[in-house]
Amino acid sequence: MTKPNLLVNLPGGFFASPILKAAFARLRARAKLRFRSHDTQDQIAPDLAWADAVIMWSWPRYTPELLAAAPRLRFGGHLDIAQSSARLALERGMAVSVSRKGFSPAVSEMALALILGTLRKTSDYHAAMRAGREPWVTKFPDEIPADERQLTGRRVGIIGFGAVGQRLGELLAPFHCTLRVYDPHLPAEVLARFNAEGVPLKALLKQSEIVVVSAASNEGSRKLIGRAEIAALPKGAVFVNVARAALVDTAALVARLKKGDLYAALDVFDREPLERNHPLRKLPNAYLTPHRAGGLNESVARILGYLVDDFEAHLDGRPRQHPLLERMIPSLDA
């Protein structure tokens, strides 16, 4: 039986990674492979025209012209995919699989770590210990910091309750938190499974001691958390963003943080790397990490492994485990 042509278009580091050798061996056993790292539509067009299937990230994006020039293409496996590409591929009748939820375990664990670290001030204590300026409580309980708190029993609001939000909900279960969710696309049965209350955005912000942003970034969600929403957060609240910076009005967040009555833990920024002179770097109540939430070796193995599984299922005529469905498009990034 003739092997299909499979274009694997990923950053070069994927091809050199030892943790992915087994995944590429599985692909090589089932298809003729081309490894490429194209960034533009002009670059990828000749290889896509050759391909019966492609495994790639979300770029280059599909266009009608690009797909028209690739008549053999029947399967697209994507680490992520933009809404416009998703619509074009499904309209064409392609089998499309998306493995972005493979990042979810790591992202949700980072969200939990940022919540706990901010409440318990662990990075403050670490830096102070390194510098030899740590505060020791000598009068107990008089000197216990009022802004150091436990997570157990707190009111938590999650904005966007997809794979990341739901995994975070599972991780929060032992802490017996009151869980509120804002997600217009969420079925009621999902809320029931997590014993969560679905509420409007403003209500979630006003009623939560901890707010986690894990929603998709698209035209409908750009600056979803604006000046009015940031002002609605209670004094002493912890605001965590492990999604996309575009969801939040950064200038408004900085202005609120400068008042000193809010804490933020941020893994994403409008410009990355974050500018050295950015005001966030100077705020003691802003806890920053350099976009590290999802990027673990375990995540890399999962996101490619899911697509290998689905490519094999596509060839064998079996149901795929990670198919892109029409109803999922609104939850994708723009």
pLDDT at residue 114, as a whole number: 98
Predicted structure pTM score:
0.95
Domains defined along the chain, listed by start: 5-102+296-331 (3.40.50.720), 104-288 (3.40.50.720)
Task: Report helix angle 163-172 to 104-120, nearest 10.
Answer: 50
Structure tokens belonging to residue 57: 């990230």
Strand ranges in 257-333 using DSSP code E only, listed in sequence order: 263-266, 286-288
Q: With b meaning 16 or more CB within 10 Å and e meaning fewer, what string describes 138-176? A: eeeeeeeeeeebebeebbbbbbbbbbbbbbbbebbeebe
Q: Which residue has the tokens 């901890």?
A: 210
Structure tokens belonging to residue 295: 């990027």
The predicted-structure confidence for 126-176, as pLDDT tens digits, reads as follows: 999 999 999 999 999 999 999 999 999 999 999 999 999 999 999 999 999
Spell out the residues 6+ positions from residue 76 whose beta carbon is closer than 8 angstroms to its own.
53, 54, 56, 89, 94, 95, 96, 97
DSSP state of 278: -
Q: CA-CA distance, 205 to 234, in Å (whole number)?
A: 8
Question: If pLDDT is split at 50, 70 and 90, which confidence band does 249 have?
Answer: very high
**Inter-CA distances, 170 with 173, 242, 274, Å:** 5, 17, 31
Question: If pLDDT is split at 50, 70 and 90, which confidence band does 330 have?
Answer: confident
